[in-house]
């Protein structure tokens, strides 16, 4: 088993782009679910808003990519209103049902042939990220070089290189900066009177309403803010890949983000950032270990094939599902949350 490669991959996943976009999406989801108790199961749709906002600048609008940031945020504002208006006055599960359905429909719409002109169907959009990459090239050039620290473990003959290409480093710098800005914003806003009301709504909606607060308005703004932070997640994913693919915004993505958030700890900014990092490190670790363990061979028990290379992904995802169940049952506060804050209940 190649432990050097396992360690390198795990460390890269811990700080890599997947952790970045999951962290952004989780910070947003935390504003909705962690602080306001809103079950948004369609965070992937908000991410798609950001990604397609950028992508459509070249595919449809034929304008500079940077307008895409505004377009993406505009899309997610519209989406939040569309999802929130019918559901936020109702019980919590209605929002969950509507968001899960809307996210799936949005994915089907952007990948359908009928709307090729706007979204380019299942091929996705590939040519929009030029302006972003050019700035990176100017600042960190040459893009072809690799960057990253390298350690030599004393005693044994191990050299561990955590290397990213120049382009990845540029994306990571911007991504982590966004994570810090959004994290700081949420941290501050939740200590403001506005944030306290939001947490009050999570604990007891009627009590807050009886104080004369506009509960619907607070919930709506939390949905919008959380969705917009999720929009940045979609943008970072699109900029890193240099392409927008409809299937990157599936239901499973939302569920994995939810798992990463619960792992880090609901209603905790630290949790919503560290959770995704740990999530991806663990995911990558088990993936590489399984791959190394079977070494391209299929493992069978009796005549039942338990593990071959195509079954590694599903195996990993089964473990994610189990992780979510076990966390909710035994440690609902995750790594950094506060158990007392986890008294969320359906209304």
Partner 1 sequence: MIFALVALVAIFGAPGTSHAQEDDERTVRARINNRVAGENEPVEGVTVTISTGGEELDSAETDENGQVEFTVQGRRDYTLTVDRDTLPDGIDIEEGEETNTITAASFTSSSISRTFVTGESLVTETPFIDELAQRLVNGTRFGLLIAISSVGLSLVFGTTRLTNFAHAEMVTFGGVVAFVFNVTGLSFLGWLPFADERGRFPLIAAGVITVLLGGLFGLALNGSIFGPLRRRGYSLVTLMVISVGLSIALKNLFLHRFLSRRRPYADYARQSAMEFGPITITARDLIVTIISFVVLVAVALSLQRTRIGKATRAVSDNIALASATGINSEQIIRIVWFAGGALAALGGIFNAVDEQVSFEMGAQLLFVMFAGITLGGLGSAFGALLGGFLVGMFVELATFVVPSELKNAPALVVLILVLLVRPQGILGRAERVG
Residues lying near partner 1 in the complex (CB under 8 A) are found at 37, 39, 41, 82, 85-87, 89-94, 96-98, 100-102, 104-105, 108-109, 111-114, 205, 215, 251-252, 255-256, 258-259, 262, 310-311, 313-315, 317-318, 320-325, 328-329, 332, 343-347
The least distance separating partner 1 from the CB of residue 41, rounded to whole angstroms, comes to 7
- 143 or 307, CB closer to partner 1? 307
Q: Which is nearer to partner 1, 9 or 99 (CB)?
A: 99
Q: Which residues pair with 147 in a beta bridge?
A: 164
**Would you say 130 or 314 has its CB closer to partner 1?**
314
Question: Can you tell me the distance from the alpha carbon of 174 to that of 81, in angstroms, rounded to the nearest whole number?
Answer: 29
Q: How far is the CB of 258 from partner 1 (least distance, A)?
A: 7
DSSP string, 170-217: HHHHHHHHHHHHHHHHHHHHHHSHHHHHHHHHHH-HHHHHHTT--HHH
Shortest distance in whole angstroms from residue 194 CB to partner 1: 20
Sign of CA dihedral 144, 145, 146, 148: negative
Cβ 252 to partner 1 shortest distance, Å: 7
User: Smallest gap, in angstroms, from Cβ of residue 52 to partner 1?
Assistant: 16
| Residue 25 exposed, middle or buried by CB count within 10 Å (0-12, 13-18, 19+) | buried
Nearest CB to partner 1, comparing residues 139 and 322: 322
Using the minimum distance from each CB to partner 1, give the nearer residue, 199 or 251.
251
Beta carbon of residue 278, minimum distance to partner 1 (angstroms, whole number): 17
Strand extents, DSSP E, the chain = 146-147, 150-153, 158-161, 164-165, 299-301, 304-307
Q: Which is nearer to partner 1, 188 or 328 (CB)?
A: 328
Q: Which residues contact 68 (CB under 8 A, 6 or more apart)?
A: 53, 54, 55, 56, 57, 128, 235
- Shortest distance in whole angstroms from residue 204 CB to partner 1: 11
CA separation for the pair 199, 212 (Å, rounded): 15
- Residue 127 is classified by DSSP as S
Nearer to partner 1 by C-beta: 238 or 258? 258
Distance CA 273, CA 266 (A): 11
Q: Provide φ and ψ at 155, rounded to 5°.
A: 90, -60
Rounded distance, CA 347 to CA 324, Å?
22
């Amino acid at each position: 088993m190649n432990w050097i490669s396992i360690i390198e991959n795990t460390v890269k996943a811990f700080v890599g782009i997947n952790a970045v976009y999951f962290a952004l999406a989780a910070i947003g989801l935390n504003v909705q679910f962690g602080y306001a108790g809103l079950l948004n199961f369609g965070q992937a749709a908000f991410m798609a808003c950001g990604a397609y906002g950028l992508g459509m600048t070249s595919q449809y609008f034929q304008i500079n990519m940077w307008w895409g940031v505004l377009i993406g945020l505009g899309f997610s504002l519209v989406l939040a209103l569309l999802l929130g208006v019918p559901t936020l006055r109702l019980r919590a599960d209605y929002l969950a049902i509507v968001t899960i359905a809307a996210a799936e429909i949005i994915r089907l719409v952007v990948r359908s042939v009928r709307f090729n002109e706007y979204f380019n169907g299942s091929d996705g959009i590939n040519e929009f990220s030029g302006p972003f990459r050019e700035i990176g090239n100017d600042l960190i050039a040459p893009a072809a070089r690799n960057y990253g620290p390298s350690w030599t473990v004393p005693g044994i003959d191990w050299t561990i290189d955590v290397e990213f290409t120049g382009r990845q480093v540029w994306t990571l710098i911007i991504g982590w900066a966004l994570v810090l800005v959004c994290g700081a914003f949420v941290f501050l806003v939740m200590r403001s009177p506005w944030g306290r009301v939001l947490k009050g709504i999570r604990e007891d909606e009627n009590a807050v309403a009886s104080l004369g607060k506009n509960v619907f308005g607070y919930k709506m703004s939390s949905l919008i803010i959380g969705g917009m932070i999720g929009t940045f997640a979609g943008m970072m994913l699109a900029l890193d890949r240099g392409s927008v693919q409809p299937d990157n915004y599936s239901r499973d993505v939302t569920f994995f983000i939810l798992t990463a958030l619960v792992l880090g700890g609901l209603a905790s900014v630290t949790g919503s950032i560290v959770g995704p990092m740990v999530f991806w490190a663990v995911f990558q670790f088990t993936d590489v270990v399984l791959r190394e363990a079977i070494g391209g061979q299929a493992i069978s028990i009796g005549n039942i094939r338990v593990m071959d290379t195509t079954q590694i992904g599903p195996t990993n995802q089964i473990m994610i599902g189990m992780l979510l169940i076990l966390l909710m049952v035994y440690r609902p506060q995750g790594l950094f949350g506060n158990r007392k804050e986890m008294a969320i209940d359906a209304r």
